[in-house]
Amino acid sequence: MKVLLINAGSYYVMQKTVIPLGLLSIATLLKENSHEVKIYDRTVQGVKVDKVLDDFKPDVVGISVLTFGSFRDGIKVSKKVKKRGLPVVWGGQVPSLVPEIVLSEDSVDCLVIGDGEFAMLDLLDAFGRKSPLSHVEGIAYRQNGEIVYTEPREFKDLSEFPIIDWSFVDPTKYFIPNVSCEKVLHVYASKGCPGQCTYCYNTCFNKREWRPRPLDYVVDEVKRLVLDYGADGIYFADDLMSPNKKYLEKFCAVIKDSNLPLYWGCNMRADTLSREELQLMYDSGCRWIFFGIESGYEARQKSIKKYLNLKKAQETMVWCNEIGIVSTTSFIVGYPDETVEELRETVKYMLELSSDVKVGSNYGVIPKSEMYDYLLETGKIDKPQTLKEWEKLAGMDKKGKHFSLATPLEKRVIVNRFLYMIMATKTKKADKHSHFWARRLVKQTLDLSVTKNLKSLVLISISAKQFLEIMFFSQMFPGILKKYGLKGKGKN
């Protein structure tokens, strides 16, 4: 069958879009099973939907919707596809977490819950044979006005997943600059995380399982990106790159032995690494690590079930500085019932932490997380029934609904002050000793013009608006800055 896989567009501009790993993996598996596949990524391609449909003439269309920010575009595209009488299948994190919201749309026939590779393969077989969808595991669909959920699909060993064929897209369109390199692309080496954080989707989506891919698969993909497309950096996009020392040592050895000319970065827990392990990572090419701290308040660490050792995390950042690894730490502002004193403690901890970049994000409700259930049970929210209601709860990149005891303005000032501090930071560990993060934001804004259409202008306008908001809220409220110990911070 001819299958068109679409990455729905988004109006999120704080970070450049990344290469669509999920769609690429699905496309590769379908191709290996004799299907003809095309990927249409609306985040980087300016061509219109109708032209793609006219030119390719697919039998089935799959649409990836990763966030609520791309939900509307997914619906827009689905309606155009349904006018042609074609089956529309949705997949991604959002459809998996709120299938009832997705299937309330007449333009969506069914959706995949969880991993999409083998579910999509089975769906195509069912479409081709015109057999009942009830036999396909891990999907949901409408039947006689009701939503039908099939048997859950068991996780597969990732050795059964394909080595990604990058030729479905132009990887050079996804290059992102980072410290020590200019052409960074994303690769995944594992899925899932063993954590149980109450604000996260992981417990529902990945069942707290961490599944590694065969490292020879990973090296093969990285090799192709470096040799065929000129990538000089790889960001391993895993929720958690390594859960233990044994795997980390093996991973670093394999990357180092590949002798590929690249640097790399990843996401790691901040209190489990020794100095020896960090040095091992550096020696194999690691130059940046993202650490999710999320709160600098001990009691909150327990209530969100992150259980991070804050003192050990401080030590980890010192070691990163000494070794030469650029560290980014993230924090959530505005937890339900968060007091002013708790928020002050978190801000104080952020300022004391010696990480290179500190990111503050507003708390956003994530479907089917434990914290979402708490908000429902305590009556702080009603169960969202529509897309608009979910959008009001928002994600971590927006203002979101107010649940904490600090004022919405205070939260906004704090988040934007730390964004301002990022732009004002000089990164001494980068090869170019200048305001790297500011330059990176400027380049990302310029990259928004890639599609050269009305949407490009809209995205650039949104980016300009966000920049003005950062400058306004980070500078114009000295009383709040003083209250949270931020006055005078961020100046070089």
> Mind listing the pLDDT tens digit for each residue in 337-387?
999 999 999 999 999 999 999 999 999 999 999 999 999 999 999 999 988
Does residue 319 or residue 400 have the better pLDDT?
319
| Rounded-to-integer distance, Cα 203 and Cα 192, Å | 9
pLDDT higher than 60, residue 437? no
Q: What are the CA-CA distances from residue 426 to residues 60, 287, 330 (Å)?
A: 49, 16, 19
Q: pLDDT category, 203, cuts 50, 70, 90?
A: confident
| Rounded-to-integer distance, Cα 132 and Cα 145, Å | 16
Does residue 434 or residue 320 have the better pLDDT?
320
pLDDT mean over 174-203: 93
pLDDT higher than 70, residue 394? no
pLDDT mean over 145-170: 96
Average pLDDT, whole number, for the chain?
91
Which residue is it, tokens 């994190």? 93
DSSP string, 362-373: E----TT-HHHH
| Rounded-to-integer distance, Cα 473 and Cα 490, Å | 13
Helix or strand run (H / E) with residue 303: helix 298-303
Using DSSP bridges, classify how beta strands 139-143 and 110-112 pair: parallel, antiparallel or unpaired: antiparallel
> Which pair of tokens denotes residue 328?
């980014």
pLDDT higher than 60, residue 117? yes
Amino acid found at 166: W
DSSP string, 312-339: HHHHHHHHHHHHT-EEEEEEEE--TT--
Whole-model pTM over 0.85:
yes
Q: What is the pLDDT of residue 387?
A: 85
pLDDT mean over 3-20: 81
pLDDT higher than 80, residue 179? yes
Per-residue model confidence as pLDDT tens digits over 442-467: 665 566 555 556 666 766 776 778 88
Q: What is the pLDDT of residue 55?
A: 97
Per-residue model confidence as pLDDT tens digits over 204-223: 889 999 999 999 999 999 99
pLDDT mean over 121-142: 96
Paired strand residues for 146: 143
Helix or strand run (H / E) with residue 195: none
Residue 153 DSSP class: P
pLDDT higher than 60, residue 276? yes
> Which pair of tokens denotes residue 234?
């790889």
| Rounded-to-integer distance, Cα 58 and Cα 78, Å | 13
Domains, the chain, in order of start with CATH, read 2-149 (3.40.50.280), 175-406 (3.20.20.70), 407-492 (no CATH)
pLDDT higher than 60, residue 327? yes
Q: What is the pLDDT of residue 10?
A: 79
Q: How many residues does the chain have?
A: 492
pLDDT higher than 60, residue 90? yes
pLDDT higher than 70, residue 248? yes
pLDDT higher than 80, residue 478? yes
pLDDT mean over 427-446: 56
Q: What are the respective helix, strand and coil percentages of the chain, to the nearest 5?
A: 45, 15, 40
Q: What is the pLDDT of residue 433?
A: 44
* Cβ-defined contacts of 426-435 (< 8 Å, 24+): 426/492, 427/179, 427/326, 427/356, 429/179, 429/180, 429/287, 429/324, 429/325, 429/326, 429/356, 430/179, 430/180, 430/326, 431/179, 431/180
pLDDT higher than 60, residue 398? no
Distance of CA 103 to the CA centre of its chain: 23
pLDDT higher than 80, residue 432? no
Least confident interval from 41-45, 88-92, 259-263, 401-405: 401-405
pLDDT higher than 50, residue 6? yes
